A and B are shown apart, each in its own frame.
Chain A
């Protein structure tokens, strides 16, 4: 049955309405970031700035150091990049190995240990933050990027383990056997046969892991106090609390903080459905 013309018109209208609802707040974020403060703080909103300005972006990218807010945002962006990237790399490496074990090997306490990893992933950070704070203080790792990477690894690793293990299950069984009949060791089969095949899964899992670390807030809020390690969510939250009416600069920082995850989400968009399906269906 071919869909009727009225139906086709109707669903496209609905899609446009949906797109407007989704895009309007984004548009307002971008518009606010390029509107001069005088226009942002006028009694009637200027839906489009009379005098658009890129001054805030320039300030974030090129202002001098010190206590300057724009320079703070820049340092926080760099910290976020370093921390999220390092966390992703560490978690992927150990998560891919562990996920393979869960998917393809039989060993004692397999189910129990998988549940233990999952339980850690479900733990609310608020339950761990106090003793972790004290531990990091003892090790001299408060307000350091290393401290954050160590902490984030404990959240992102269980996630990578779980997703990768589901991904390995979706690969045809018997690949290792074939390789081993050909004389490869277990390790060799994993590295030369399985991992190259698993590359799409590894990339997608890495993207999710990066987003998890990029978005994390509570640990960063408690563990960091200076531009040495403060991440972009903390910098934005802090500035929002202090200068709630100077939204222009928050908006510029917000746009910059949003660009990396949006790019990743768009590039990996089709895998979001695919990844979820393979998890839900192939079990």
Chain B
């Protein structure tokens, strides 16, 4: 699922449809299902972003050109939510990747009952995002939460902490909940990458006198580079779109401290009815995501050309 398919076997037998017409016939249903739904909204959002739409009612709204976009960049709150989003993205992606590599190496080691450990690691990935958010919100609960209870039981701290009570602390606690869930899929990406490294390379490194630490930095990490790049970009795109876990855990609070760009867009459009402004914000997210996606595709193509096998 991570690279562009190439056109395969060239049929030598002619007859029936032309290849192009057959392709059209096969692709038409998918095109209808996807573009029939999405095309109009994509255009419509772009149009709305150029008007000063401030209610859900249809009507004549003044055309303001790129004013909404200009406004975004003059909006202090936008920079603050952008800051949260960047922080969320950098920290969660970094943690997911480092933990993911560590766990993947562990799962690749000669463990007994390897299937059991792998089955355990897959579980957080399967947990629905909203359930994950609700669960961690409960664990962090200042009065009855398991986290305070655990600190108490272990004799570490008796004074309960309001984990979601302060903006910066809350943002970090949401990141922990996100990392706990999403490291899972990163592990499987890295594991797939690890299994493509031929084991005789390690033999060779050992013969050359490289210790495990050196082999890790000089051999494993470079060989994993393509997988790491893919994970980095996919996780970054996801983090840019992060909404669900914020919605259920903190509702953007306290003091807007956990609002991300996607959540702020939602608030502007649906709570403040600033649809024009919200549409402009949404298009800026689209631009950011597409820039990342282009980088992603470029890396895939490089991998393909380098013949990563």
Q: Which residues of A contact B (CB under 8 A)?
A: 1, 3, 8, 11-12, 14-15, 18-19, 21-23, 25-26, 28-29, 32, 40-45, 47, 90-91, 93-95, 97-98, 100-108, 110-111, 113-120, 122-128, 130-132, 134-135, 150-151, 153-154, 157-158, 161-163, 165-166, 168-169, 173-177, 180-181, 185-187, 211, 214-215, 217-218, 221-222, 232-234, 236-237, 240-241, 244-245, 247, 250-251, 254, 257-258, 261-262, 264-266, 269, 272-273, 275-277, 279-281, 283
Contacts and interface: CB of A to CB of B under 8 A. Distances in A.
Given A8-B110, A130-B45, A280-B192, A100 B124 contact: no
A161 B75 CA distance: 40
A247 B290 contact: no
B48 interface: yes
| Chain A contact residues, majority secondary structure | helix
Interface stretch (B62-70, B87-95, B127-135): B127-135
A130 B269 CA distance: 8
A113 B28 CA distance: 11
A173 B226 CA distance: 26
Given A11-B111, A114-B4, A269 B118 contact: yes
Interface in B1-55: 1-13, 15-17, 19-20, 22-24, 26-27, 29-35, 37-38, 40-42, 44-45, 48
Contact of B12 (A44, A157, A166, A177): A177
Given A32-B138, A233-B131, 10 more contacts: A91-B33, A98-B26, A113-B31, A116-B35, A132-B37, A154-B34, A175-B9, A211-B126, A240-B134, A283-B303
Interface of B: 1-13, 15-17, 19-20, 22-24, 26-27, 29-35, 37-38, 40-42, 44-45, 48, 103, 106, 109-112, 115, 117-131, 133-139, 141, 143-146, 149-150, 152-153, 180, 188-189, 191-193, 195-196, 206, 226-227, 230, 237, 240-241, 243-244, 247-248, 251, 262, 265-266, 269-270, 275, 278-279, 282-283, 285-286, 289-290, 293, 297, 300, 303-304, 308-309
Contact of B29 (A3, A98, A240, A261): A98
List 4 A-B pairs, minimum CB-CB distance, nearest first: A45-B149, A98-B30, A283-B3, A131-B44
Contact of B266 (A47, A122, A126, A158): A126
A178 to B, nearest CB: 10
A67 B143 CA distance: 29
Contacts of A264: 126
Contacts of A151: 37
B9 A174 contact: yes
A280 B139 contact: no
28 contacts: A3-B110, A8-B110, A11-B110, A11-B111, A22-B123, A25-B136, A26-B127, A28-B135, A42-B144, A44-B153, A45-B144, A106-B7, A114-B5, A127-B279, A130-B45, A132-B41, A176-B9, A217-B130, A218-B266, A234-B130, A236-B134, A245-B141, A250-B138, A265-B122, A280-B303, A283-B2, A283-B4, A283-B308
Contact of A217 (B106, B193, B247, B279): B247
A119 B4 contact: no
A254 to B, nearest CB: 4
Contact of B48 (A23, A131, A177): A131
Most buried by A among B33, B112, B152, B227: B33
Given A158-B34, A161-B30, A45 B285 contact: no
B22 A186 contact: yes
Contacts of B12: 177
| Chain B contact residues, majority secondary structure | helix
Contact of A102 (B5, B41, B139, B300): B5
A257 B128 contact: yes
Given A123-B38, A128-B45, A236 B1 contact: no
